[in-house]
Every structure is written in C-alpha cells, then in structure tokens.
Amino acid sequence: MVEDVIEKKTVKVIKVDVDKCIGCRACELVCSAFHAEPKYSSTNPAKARIRLIMDEFNDIYIPLYAGEYTDAECNGRNVYTIDGKTYDECTFCRASCPSRDFFKDPDSGLPLKCDMCLDDPPLEEPLCVQACRCDALTYEEVEQEEEKEESPDEMETGLQSLVKKHGTKKVMESLARISKEAD
Amino acid sequence: MRYAETGYNLEIDLSSGNIERVATDPRDMELYLGGQGTAAKILWDRVGPEVDPFSEDNLLIFSAGLLHATPVPSATRASVDTISAQTGLYSHSLFGGFWGPELKHAGYDKIILRGKAKGLVYLWIHNDKVEIRDASHLAGKGTMETAECLKKELKDAKVQVAAIGLAGENRVYMSSIEHYNSSASRGVGHIMGDKRVKAIALRGTKDVYVAKPAELFDLCNRQYKVIYDKGSSVMTHSHNEAWHTDVFAWGFARERRKGFWNKELEEEWAKVTDSVFVRYNGCYNCSIDCHATISYPGRRSFSYKCYGKLTYAMAAYQDVAFNYDIMGLTQEYGLDSFSTPQVLAFACELYEAGILTDKDLPDFPEDSGKRFFYLLEKIVRREGVGDALANGVYWAARQIGKGAEEYDHNTTKKFEQVPLKLGALNYPYFLMYATGAKMNITQIEGSFPQNAIPDKERRKAFVDKWEAAPDKFKKIYMEWEPRTQPPIDAAVAIADWNETMHYIDDSVGICAFVSAFKGQFNKSSYHINNYPEFISLASGLELDQDKLWETARRNRTLIRAINNRRGMRREDEKPPHGHWKQRLPDIEKQLIDEYYKFKGWNEDGIPTKQELDRLGLGYVSQDFIKRGILTDDKASPAKETSA
C-alpha cells in the first residue's frame, strides 16, 4: 500500500526583475570569480552560470541562469513578442545545449549549471544577488509544503511489471524454481 | 604568472598587415601601472617629435586599465592615446562600457595600431584569432549601426564593438570613437579614421588572474555597497537643470543666463525626457547607472550622461528636445558632444558677423536649431566651408580668415574648452586650464571643492566625513576664507592633487565618476587612501600612498615630456582668453612659476634633469639633452613653437 506524506521543503528563489536591470554584468563577473579554482583567483564572464542576454539596440536585458544540460536541440523555435519587443525562445531557456555556445566552459566545453553559490558555510545570498545593487536580482527562501508520494522500492516496481506481463502464477513458479536452484 | 594585467600587447601594422602578440615587461606595470601610463611610455619610445599625426608612424593605442576585468568595481574606462592632428600634441581619451575588460579577456592589455590600411577595414579579435577584415560594407554607417551589423555578422551578441562614424572616416577633428553607452572624444577619432579602421570588434573568453583572490574579493564585495550608497548618478537622473543652465555659458560660450531655469521649464523638459527615456544603464561591473538611454522618434537610440544632455541645446539656444534630436544623429556620426556644439555655434557667429556669407552657406536657415543640423551635414562630409570647420575652431578660424581669428576665444592649445564665463580668477583652475594635458577640465579637476562652505561648523562636518582627503588638504580647506582665493602654495597643491587622482584613475581604468571627479562632493569611492590596497591585492604590486602618488607624477611628467619634445613651452600655457573677467598677470605668473617649481620643471615648463632622473625617466633627460631641449638641468635654449 502506497501512502502520501506532507513534507516541508525550503526552496531557494532568485527573483529577476528585468525592468530594474542596468546591464552592468556584475552578476556574471562575481559568478565566474566564485567558481574559479582557487576561489576568486580569476574572472571570466564566459564561464559564468548567469548570463545577461543583452540586445542594447532593442532595450533587452535579461539575466538568465544556467540550468540542466541537454544533448538534444529543440525541434522548433518560438519567437515571443512582449510589450512590442521580440525575444528569441532561447532568451528564456536555461539549458546548456548544442544549439548555443553559452553555459559551457569555453575551454573544455563541459556544461555549467547554477548551484546558487553552494558553499560551506553557506552564503547568505548567492553572490550575483549581492552584487546586484539595483535589485534586478533579489533572493528569497520560500518554505513549501510538498505532497510526497512514498514510492515503492525498485524490486517491487520490477516485480509488479513482471506480474503485469506474465501473470502472477507464472512469476510465482519461476520464483520458486529460482530460489530452489539458489539453495 | 602575471596578475591584473595579461602581459601581452597586440601590435597591428595596418600598412603591412603584420599582426604580433608581444609580451610586455612586468617592470612597466610597476613604473606606469597601465592604461594611459604604459601607453605614454610607448608613445615616447616610438613616436618622435618629427612624426606627423597623419603619417603611418603615428600610433593609435587602445589600452585596458590595470584593474579592468578584475573584481574591482567600476574599472571600466579604456584609454585611447595618440598624437592629435588638431593640437599636434599628445591626445588622450577614455571610454567605458565593456570594451576594456573584453580586451583583457581576449588576452591583451593593449592594441597598438601603426600604419594605414589601404581601404576601410575592421579588426576582428577573438582571443588568439586576429583578423583585419574588409569594411567597405560599413562605410558611412553610423557608430551604433556598425556595432549592430558586426554583432550580427559575427553571430555573437557579446562581441564588443568600438567604431567611428562618418565624421571619423572623414578625419573630422571633433570625431569620437563610440562604444555602447560611451564615447572616446577629445581628438582620437580622426586618427582612427586616418588609419582607415572603421571598428574594432572584440570577443574574449580567457581568465584574468588576481594576486590575492580572497582578500581582494572581500574588499570588492564591500565596495559595491560603498559605490552604490554614494550614488554618483544624480545629474543624469535629475530633471533639475538649474546648475548647467545657470552656470555654463550659452551660444558660442558667450553668455551666462542666470535665473534662466524655473519650475515651469523643469516640468516642460521633464515631460519631454519622460516621453523619450528608455532606461538608465551602467558600464561593466559598476552599479552607478549614470547613463540614460534615449529613443527619440526617427533616430537610433543613444546614451548620454550628465551635461551631455544640454551641450547642443545651450550652444544653439534651443531646448532639451532639440538636444535629444540632434544627439540621435551626432552619436551615429561619431562626434564629441563638448567640442562639436562649439564649432557649430562658432560658424553661426561668423555668419552673423558677415565673415561667412550665403556664398559659403547657401540656403542657410533662419532658425538656430536648423542651422546646427545644416552645418553638421557639411562638417561630417567636409563639404564646402565644412572642410575648414571640421578642423575645429582654431584651425577653421585661420583657414577662413577675414577676421575669424578674433572669434577663437575659447580654445587652449588649439582645443575647444568647456563653455564657461566666470568672474573672479580661480587660482587652482587657472593652473589646471593652463597646464593640463587632458584638454578638458572635467578630466583634470574634482578632488578639491570649488567653494568653501561658508558656515564653519558645516565645513567641519564636511571635513570630518572627507575620507578621500590627505590631512594637508583638510587643513587647507578649513583655513580657506570663503569667497577668497587660497594662497598660491595651496592653489598649486590643490591643482596637483586634482590631476594626480585622474592620472591614477586613467592608468588603472577606474571611472572618475566614482573617483577623481567626485571628491569635491565627498562622493569618491576611490581615493589616495584606499587605492593602494585595491591595486596591490589585484596586481601584486607593493604600493603605498606615497609610491602611488609618485607613479602618477611619473606618468604626468612623461606625458609632459612628450609634449615638450613636440615643442610645447610655457608660452602655450594659457587658459581661454575670456574664461574669467578678472585677469591678474602678476599673480598668474607667480602661479605658473610656483607650479613648475613644485613639479620639478624649469621656468620654461620642461622637467629638469634632476626631476626626470629622480622619477626613473633618465631616458627622457638623455633625449632632452641630446636634442638641446635641456642643457644639463637648466632652462631650454630651444625656442620651438607648438606644432
């Protein structure tokens, strides 16, 4: 029998207000310094896990965070028009993917992903937020209640699918024979 | 390993097409820091006094500052250094945005351009890949239009472009080099045009290292807040233009209109600004959003800061809408918004005086605003009388003749000065106007307040919070009687402090808006007291206040020497003729005498052998003696006049 349980979880949220962005890219700089080896020893915005998508000719300033790696390109592309400005779909997509050269280490090509400046001891706020004095980036920790389904273990899942496929009787017989052989 | 700097310059010979990546001497950083300082060393070594600014042998040097691409906030100002055809002297300008740091990430501290390309070219620099590319498709295009084209062509929005417009292509002396929200003005664009380089496009993805990572980062993280809290963007953000409209002179730097500003105007102009305003923006790693993006109907959008909002309007006796309209055009042509309006107003005066006639200016409009647009087209194309006007007020006056020379009243060393008409002679400002090498007072002034706060207690409160000032200047300020001039020795020290801070800023690449220029308002985030720590932690240089001051003095002296070698002497050190109503020849002579002595220069304004050798500039003193500019350490026997 599977039971649902309520769990409390802290979700780290960076709020992005694109109207407040002044385009200084301090977020990119501090991010690259934090993730340098040794820490803070170098800067290189090309290695940042945040990227200001910028089109100054059309007043577009979108700070975008690096998300999951994917090895597949999108099949199609959408173009969004918001308040008269046209944005490529990639403007909002966090993936490190084959169709663009960012969110990848420029030397190794390995994907980069925002880790919210995971540190020991933990930082009060991710560094990009600390460096953003104009409050385009702000940080919040939100307590969320999550319904969590207690999932059956792996073996049970496997057995269930076997039963579905071959019927209980056949599975039981096989199981008895295998256990006899094992003994 | 090199810290803060990359340790490499990019040498491009446009005539031969030869491109080299050249390792630099780490000792140069110690002696001259970087930016303007190390550029001056190269100009001294390689551009002799015989070199015509429009010859292949003139160099155009683009430098990142020493602190560019380190975590130090507001290190954004790239330096452009060359010899100007307008002044025949050393010419220097700065521009912010992203370009300087991008150059560092591409792996270079400088780009040194020599020679001339055969046709119009642009440079594409992507890390180690450097190409001289044909730019015939960009000929005549606007500066921002060019940047947009190149970003598309090179398929990367993060490419950083610095470009000239039509004005630069036609070697207009007032032409600028434009990048994003910033311009390098003051006479460098015409040399880029002469070299036939339309644009330099950069993309860099390399690391830049610092010497003391954790300590520097901690210091910088705190500095973000300091810079933001001091908030130096007031002028751009305000609708109140009383300061500029009342203090600066209108027309061709002729007339002050005290009491011009009022509430109704403020409302009216604010309405115009609100209708075209797009966004405040900042440069790389700087939280001061001191630039405003403006989109005026029918024009490409552009950015301005501070007084840039009004220079054209006031020169033409027009309003803020006119300024936005014409700037949409002048930014694309690539023109200096300080000197250009003066040249336009000068031409209007010559027409009124009958020196320029309908023959020179057929169908010349009645309206002053329309006249500006009319003249602009002639100048950027060097058409008709525009060809003379394109050489700036000094040269145009002499080319036009017929008494036009009498109208050249606001230049120093052949360069247009800020339009100001004041009453009483100001001692430190007299020295800065007379002797400055950066051509615009805003690039020289700023650490010491222009007036003493009359109320002693308030003055004391100002001084108590004045962290930028060495104690000596706190004392001078406290003892300064309001509405009088400081004693001569104090005036000399003030001029020296003011310019010293700029020489530091311009070698490390920190913007004067958070440093040298803002000290007078107690709003400088960088100053002589905290600078050494930032520079040391980033670069690994051992530095204290005295050593840093000495380095700035070395840079100042070296640039002085470049100009001396090109013929500049004491007789050239004159502020604009009518800048102050009151002139005091005896005091002015004393001021110059004392300033030269303080600087270690002889009475002709040439650094003495002793001073040069003391600063480690023995190669300069040797050259001066060889050329007869110095005889041992006495005054110059050579009486050359300025080029």
Averaged pLDDT, B57-73:
98
B-chain CB neighbours of A133 within 8 Å are: 224-225, 227-228, 287
B-chain CB neighbours of A90 within 8 Å are: none
pLDDT at A162 over 90: no
- State the DSSP code for A87: E
The closest of A124, A103, A105, A123 to A114, measured between CA atoms, is A103
Least confident of B142-151, B343-352, B446-455, B608-617: B446-455
pLDDT at B235 over 80: no
Q: What is each CA distance from A113 to A35, A39, A55, A68, B263, in whole angstroms? A: 11, 17, 23, 7, 53
Q: Name the residue in chain A with its Cα closest to that of B219.
A: A40
Question: Which percentage of chain B shows pLDDT scores above 70?
Answer: 98
pLDDT band of B641, cuts 50, 70, 90: very low
At A139, the amino acid letter reads Y
Residue B640: what pLDDT?
A: 43
Question: How far does the CA of residue B326 sit from the closest CA of chain A (Å)?
Answer: 18
CB-based contact B150:B162 (threshold 8 Å): no
pLDDT at B637 over 70: no
Q: What is each CA distance from A183 to A132, A164, A172, A176, A180, in whole angstroms? A: 67, 27, 17, 11, 5
> Which of B 419-478 lie inside 8 A of A, CB atoms?
none
Tokens 């096989």 -> residue: A174
Residue A71 CB coordination number (10 Å): 8
User: Mean pLDDT across chain A, nearest whole number?
Assistant: 90
The closest of B555, B566, B506 to B42, measured between CA atoms, is B555
**CB pairs A-B closer than 8 Å:** 105
Residue B236: what pLDDT?
A: 80
Task: Identify the residue among A39, A52, A56, A59 best suited for mutation to test binding to B, counting B beta carbons within 10 A and taking the highest.
Answer: A56
Interface check for B237 against chain A (CB to CB < 8 A): the answer is: no
At A19, the amino acid letter reads D
Residue A179: what pLDDT?
A: 85
The closest of B410, B414, B419, B418 to B395, measured between CA atoms, is B414
Domains and CATH numbers, chain B: 8-203 (3.60.9.10), 234-287+289-416 (1.10.569.10), 427-627 (1.10.599.10)
Separation of alpha carbons B567 and B48, rounded Å: 11
B-chain CB neighbours of A41 within 8 Å are: 209-210, 213
Question: What's the sign of the alpha-carbon dihedral B261, B266, B268, B274?
Answer: positive
By the 10 Å C-beta count (0-12 exposed, 13-18 middle, 19+ buried), B358 is classed as exposed
Least confident of A29-43, B83-97, B243-257, B626-640: B626-640
A-chain CB neighbours of B105 within 8 Å are: 44-46
User: Mean pLDDT across chain B, nearest whole number?
Assistant: 96
Task: Identify the residue among B67, B129, B181, B217 best suited for mutation to test binding to A, counting A beta carbons within 10 A and taking the highest.
Answer: B217
Q: State pLDDT tens for residues B292-317.
A: 999 999 999 999 988 889 999 999 99
Which residues contact residue A164 at a Cβ distance below 8 angstroms, ignoring those fewer than 6 apart? none
Instruction: Pick left, alpha or beta for residue B382 (phi over 0 → left; psi -120 to 50 → alpha; otherwise beta).
Output: left
CB-based contact B58:B162 (threshold 8 Å): no
What b-and-e string marks burial along B15-32, b requiring 16 or more CB atoms within 10 Å of the CB?
eeeeeeeeebeeebbebb
Separation of alpha carbons B286 and B473, rounded Å: 29
Separation of alpha carbons B88 and B184, rounded Å: 18
> Helix (H, G, I), strand (E, B), or coil: what is residue B188?
coil
Interface check for B281 against chain A (CB to CB < 8 A): the answer is: yes
Question: How far does the CA of residue B38 sit from the closest CA of chain A (Å)?
Answer: 23
Q: Give the CB-side neighbour count of residue B620, counting CA atoms within 13 A.
A: 29
Bridge partners (DSSP) listed for residue B23: B8
Interface check for B144 against chain A (CB to CB < 8 A): the answer is: yes
Indicate yes or no: CB of A22 within 8 angstroms of CB of B144.
no
What b-and-e string marks burial along B196-211, b requiring 16 or more CB atoms within 10 Å of the CB?
bbbbbbbbbbbbbbbb
Averaged pLDDT, B39-52:
98
A-chain CB neighbours of B217 within 8 Å are: 33, 40
> Helix (H, G, I), strand (E, B), or coil: what is residue B521?
helix
H runs (alpha helix) in B143-286: 143-153, 166-169, 189-194, 213-230, 234-237, 242-247, 263-276
What b-and-e string marks burial along B319-340, b requiring 16 or more CB atoms within 10 Å of the CB?
bbbbbbbbbbbbbbbbbbbbbb
Task: Identify the residue among B202, B205, B296 best suited for mutation to test binding to A, counting A beta carbons within 10 A and taking the highest.
Answer: B205
Residue A154: what pLDDT?
A: 72
Q: Give the CB-side neighbour count of residue B207, counting CA atoms within 13 A.
A: 20
Residue B269: what pLDDT?
A: 97
Maximum pairwise Cα distance, chain B? 69
Q: Shortest CB distance from A134 goes to which of B73, B158, B287? A: B287
Q: State pLDDT tens for residues A109-132.
A: 999 999 999 999 999 999 999 999
Angle at B380 between CA B379 and CA B386, to 5 degrees: 20
Bridge partners (DSSP) listed for residue B133: B122
Chain centre to alpha carbon of residue B520: 19
H runs (alpha helix) in A4-96: 26-34
Indicate yes or no: CB of A130 within 8 angstroms of CB of B221.
yes
Q: Name the residue in chain A with its Cα closest to that of B211.
A: A41
Indicate yes or no: CB of B105 within 8 angstroms of CB of A44.
yes
Residue B437: what pLDDT?
A: 96
CB-based contact B80:B177 (threshold 8 Å): yes
Interface check for B7 against chain A (CB to CB < 8 A): the answer is: no
Q: What is each CA distance from B638 to B157, B413, B568, B570, B631, in whole angstroms? A: 54, 19, 11, 12, 10
Question: How far does the CA of residue A98 sit from the closest CA of chain B (Å)?
Answer: 15
Backbone phi, psi, residue B545, to 5° = -60, -40
A-chain CB neighbours of B181 within 8 Å are: 56
List chain A domain ranges.
4-148, 152-182
Give me B159's structure tokens.
Answer: 């490419």
CB-based contact B67:B85 (threshold 8 Å): no
Q: State pLDDT tens for residues B448-463.
A: 999 899 999 999 999 9
**Cis status of the peptide bond prior to B607, with omega within 30 of 0:** no
DSSP one-letter string for A116-169: TT--SSPPSS-HHHHH-TTSSEEEEEEEEEEEEE-PPPHHHHHHHHHHHHH-HH
pLDDT band of B230, cuts 50, 70, 90: confident
Q: Name the residue in chain B with its Cα closest to that of A41.
A: B213
Indicate yes or no: CB of B213 within 8 angstroms of CB of A41.
yes
Going by their DSSP bridges, the two strands B8-13 and B110-114 should be labelled as parallel
Backbone phi, psi, residue A69, to 5° = -80, 140
Residue B415 CB coordination number (10 Å): 23
Question: How far does the CA of residue B610 sit from the closest CA of chain A (Å)?
Answer: 41
Separation of alpha carbons A176 and B497, rounded Å: 95
Tokens 């055809």 -> residue: B85
CB-based contact A112:A122 (threshold 8 Å): no
Q: Shortest CB distance from A24 goes to which of B144, B206, B287? A: B287
Helix axes B471-479, B456-464, angle to 10 degrees: 170
B-chain CB neighbours of A131 within 8 Å are: 221, 224
Q: State pLDDT tens for residues B566-605.
A: 999 999 999 998 899 999 999 999 999 999 999 999 999 9
Interface check for B613 against chain A (CB to CB < 8 A): the answer is: no
Going by their DSSP bridges, the two strands A50-55 and A42-43 should be labelled as unpaired
Interface check for A86 against chain B (CB to CB < 8 A): the answer is: no
Residue A150: what pLDDT?
A: 64
Indicate yes or no: CB of B216 within 8 angstroms of CB of A40.
yes
Least confident of B101-105, B236-240, B606-610: B236-240
Interface check for A100 against chain B (CB to CB < 8 A): the answer is: no
Q: State pLDDT tens for residues B500-515.
A: 999 999 999 999 999 9
Q: Name the residue in chain A with its Cα closest to that of B291.
A: A22
